[in-house]
Structure 1
Amino acid sequence: MGYNTWNAFHCEINETVVAAAAVRMKTLGLTDFGYEFVNIDDCYSEKQRNKDGDIVADPVRFPSGMRNLTDFIRTLGLKSGIYSDAGWYTCAGYPGSFQNERRDIKLFQDWGFEFLKYDNCAVPFDEIVREGIVGKYGRMAQAIKDLAQETGKAPVIFSLCEWGKAQPWLWARDMGQSWRTTGDIEPRWDSIASIINRNSFISWASDFYGHNDMDMTYPPTEMLTPLPSGNGNLTYEESKSHFTAWALMKSPLLIGTDLNAVTKKSVEILTNKEIIAINQDKVVGTAITPFRWGVNPDWTFDGRYPAQYWSGTTENGTVFMLLNVLDEPADMFFTLTESPWIRAGRQYAMRDLWTHTDNGTAVRNVTIHGVPAHGVVALLLRDAGDEPEGTQPPCAQPDWCMDKNGTLIEREL
């Protein structure tokens, strides 16, 4: 959890911007909810390495030096992250780390950074790299491991930014703590919906040992600074859906908006402690998964209308996410036992994780009326004992429901 400079500032960064973001995280109270990293993205260095082969921090943008900056961030009780690339250059044309992995990771650690976002631009010719994508990222992963063994320090957290084309969820957990699953996010609902759709098929891959990285979060802003993409802003309801999906799918929670422009409601979204508690669950590491798609037949790949009905386990009960992907308000209905985590014949106390209210007991079914367009409902259900005796029909799920005497009940319904 933390902050990244790219979405808000792109290459317009300097030590003042980074330090101000760190201070703003403190003053907004974000650090009290687990946000701890301040990550510098691309464009922080000079265009060429020095005569010794080292990356050089831009002396105009960062005149005090990187170590002084990370030391300042550390005085606030925060940690720092840096950026590089597995190719010749970064995506913005600055020095990448290919063939300099050991040199660069030592420099980053000497500078005081504890997190590395590692991108995938400027790929060397095949006759030079002679590796697949696994080997190319493995070079930095091995450098991080070797440095930790040599220094006795904790290894730098390794966040692979491969964009999902090579299915990093199948191999990257042996290298790093997170892996990007899509291209860059944009502050538009269609971008959010598309990322949710793609991740609905691989949400099983997130656990304690690695996380599908769905890219940064975009809380609404007062637009004090224009968004680099020029694509507008998310609504309050869309931002709630965005944050809920990212948190419950166990994506890293890195804020990508200008913290000077966030609204009070935005901060309320980012500091929803009940949602964050599930993202940071110390007992259950797995993400929520869809149990019904809703608008489309199950398992339909549709970037506009992703899966709507999701559930998963937590240390305190079963969590449900209902996502209204329509452009108008809608009623949403599900049967409890559609979720594999719910026990048949039991009733459940229901808590709304956005209104922070206990909303009675659910028996068999739940209906939520008037879910806003592109809005979300997040519910935590806790077992409340046997359902009332004689509840009908005999099985909430009629498929192959049978009496002890052999009568197939489903045919009588």
Structure 2
Amino acid sequence: MSKWNDVYVMFLFIFMPVHVKLLNNSLARTPPMGWMSWGYYMCGANCEKNPEKCLNENLILTVADTFYQEGYQEAGYEYIIIDDCWSELERDSNGRLVPDRKRFPNGMKYIADYIHKRNLKFGMYTNIAKKTCMKYPGSRDHFDIDAKTFAEWDVDYLKVDGCFVEEDFLNTAYIQLGSALQKTGRQMVYSCSWPYYIQYIHNKIPDYQPVADHCNMWRNYHDVVASWKVIKSIIMHYQIEYKRLSPHHGPGHWNDPDMIVFGSGALNEGQSRVHLTVYLMLSAPILMSCDVNNITPYEKQLLQNLDLLAIGQDPLGVMAKPYQLELEVTLWVKPHLPMKGDKYHSFSFAIVNFDVRAHLISFFPSAYGANYTDGYSVMDVFANTFGKNVTLSDYIEVTVPPEDVILYSLFPL
């Protein structure tokens, strides 16, 4: 970047807050939970050749019915989000986005009404460039009219990508589009990809403070796919980047490691436990992407395990801290509610084993923040059982199976 561009960007950040409100929509006080189309259905526009991966009205209504009828809604899943490739390839004569007429014949307001009647929430996608990542119409030069359109369609959540734009524009466009959304008067969760494109396309270190000031959540790392290797790389990213990411994470503003890819057959039960558990320990959004008819009974049990979900939905919203116990074994530690008085937290301890062999692990909870002198009750979250209480002088010892996780929640007595 030239020296002039450096001065220009600095000028914008110094003077922009005078004219642009910081995000204050009171949304996403806990990490959003729901379903998103991209991870499984991808672009999904060629329904004739690939009907099983068709992104259309029927798919979205089916997901809404499944959430409503099969316990997902009661477990806290509420957002149903359409990703890229939902529109016609051209705007209308008034410059407005138009839903694909074949795949979404009744339009987006019809879908929003259907979802809202089930007390669920509706999400959509755009990009801050002139084209989306898949070359559909993007929102650049149309921020105000697109914000108004999404508001008129009663959208509750907007995912905003950042393909095909220069660094300077990334650092202003998300702020400008966020301001346009606020001016509509409709509250929408604002999901940004701002830091991802700064770091991995423009090769700069993101400044997370303006991101957290203007977005409810943001992507930090590469797209997830249904691969254990990829999921491990995402988890390792958050472990390595913990010190840089955690200060900007909390109620209303969340780091987003991308979707939960259950229903693919790519993960065994242990790997599935790791995938979901670490995301919940991070207080990350839980947005599954799948054919809801392909979720296995065990995956559904995990997704609806209320003791497990409570860790991720804890109102304190603390991002778990990682401690490397062995080369392939990490202890993730998360303080959360309930508290004893106003100073003794409960804690969850997730011992994650990436190795292909089992590891015998022991640790003292008191070495990682547990400080209540009367001790703690110990819950094995996956077994849904309570073991022997522990004091501050006691250690916990457990064998962690290969590529699996053991999860304990400790509650002050």
Range class of TM-score, shorter chain:
0.7 to 0.9
SS of 2:302's partner is: helix
1:280-319 deviation digits (Å, cap 9, x = unpaired): 223x2212111x21234xxxxxxxx5x6112121112111
Residue 133 (structure 1) shift: 2.6
* TM-score normalised per structure 2: 0.81
Counterparts of 1:256-267 in structure 2, within 5 Å, are 256-267=289-300
Give the corresponding residue for 1:102: 144
Residues 87 and 99, structure 2, Cα contact 8 Å, conserved in 1: yes
SS of 1:360's partner is: coil
Equivalent pairs: percent with the same residue? 26
Counterparts of 1:13-412 in structure 2, within 5 Å, are 13-123=55-165, 131-148=168-185, 153=186, 155-162=187-194, 164=196, 165=199, 166-167=205-206, 169-200=208-239, 201=242, 202-219=245-262, 221=263, 233-282=266-315, 284-290=316-322, 292-296=323-327, 305=328, 308-316=330-338, 317-339=346-368, 341-343=369-371, 347-363=375-391, 364-384=393-413
* TM-score normalised per structure 1: 0.81
1:46-98 deviation digits (Å, cap 9, x = unpaired): 11111211111110110111111111111121110000001111111101111
- Give the gaps of 5 or more residues in structure 1: 224-231, 297-304, 385-413
- Which protein has the bigger helix share? 2
Residues 349 and 360, structure 1, Cα contact 8 Å, conserved in 2: yes
Residues 382 and 407, structure 2, Cα contact 8 Å, conserved in 1: yes
Residue 344 (structure 1) shift: 7.4
Residues 161 and 179, structure 1, Cα contact 8 Å, conserved in 2: yes
Letter in 2 for 1:274: D
Residue 204 (structure 1) shift: 4.3
CA RMSD of aligned residues (A): 1.8
Residue 169 (structure 1) shift: 3.6
Residue 345 (structure 1) shift: 5.5
Q: Distance in 1 between matches of 2:270 and 2:236?
A: 18
Taking structure 1 as reference, are residues 328 and 375 closer, same or farther at Cα in structure 2, changes over 3 Å only?
Answer: same
Letter in 2 for 1:358: F
Q: Distance in 2 between matches of 1:169 and 1:248?
A: 21
Letter in 2 for 1:294: L
Residue 24 (structure 1) shift: 1.4
Residue 163 (structure 1) shift: 5.7
Taking structure 1 as reference, are residues 118 and 69 closer, same or farther at Cα in structure 2, changes over 3 Å only?
Answer: same
Letter in 2 for 1:355: A
Q: Distance in 1 between matches of 2:169 and 2:62?
A: 40
Query: RCO greater where, 1 or 2, for CA within 8 Å and sep 6 or more?
Result: 2
Greater Rg over alpha carbons, structure: 1
Residues 4 and 256, structure 1, Cα contact 8 Å, conserved in 2: yes
Letter in 2 for 1:209: G
How many pairs were matched up?
Answer: 352
